Amino acid sequence: MSGRFVRLAESARQAVTIRVDGKPVQALLGDSVMVAVLTAGGHLRESEFGDGHRAGFCLMGACQDCWVWTADGERLRACSTPLTEGMDISTRQPETTWPDHA
C-alpha cells in the first residue's frame, strides 16, 4: 500500500534516503524513523501474536508498539528515533538464536 501517514506541512526540508526492508525510501531530515517508514508504507512490524501488521500506537514512547530493527539487529523505538542518512531498517524481527547451555 502507499503510505499510512500523510505529510501536511514542513515539506521543504532536506531529503534523506534510507532503506526499508532492502528498498530505498525517500524521507526528510527531521523525520522520526516512524514517519519515514509510514509515509512510504503501511506498517512497522508484524505482531508476534499472529494478528497482523502493527504501525505503532502512542507515539510517545509508552506503548512500545513501534519497534523496528536495523540491519545489524539493533532494536529501535521508531516513534522516538530520528532518522539518519543511510539507515537500513527492517520491519521483520531478526531471528533469535538462544545460546546452547546444554
Whole-number minimum distance, CB 41 to other proteins, in Å?
A: 10
Nearer to other proteins, 19 or 43 (CB): 43
Whole-number minimum distance, CB 68 to other proteins, in Å?
A: 13
Nearer to other proteins, 13 or 88 (CB): 13
- List the one residue out of 43, 48, 54, 50 whose CA is nearest residue 21: 43
Contact footprint for other proteins (CB under 8 A): 1, 4-10, 12-14, 29-32, 35, 39, 42-43, 47, 49-65, 67, 74-75, 79-80, 82
CB proximity list for 53: less than 8 A, separation 6 or greater: 42, 43, 44, 45, 46, 47
CB proximity list for 7: less than 8 A, separation 6 or greater: 39
Nearer to other proteins, 12 or 102 (CB): 12
Whole-number minimum distance, CB 17 to other proteins, in Å?
A: 17
Question: Cell digits for 75?
Answer: 532494536
CA distance 23 to 25: 6
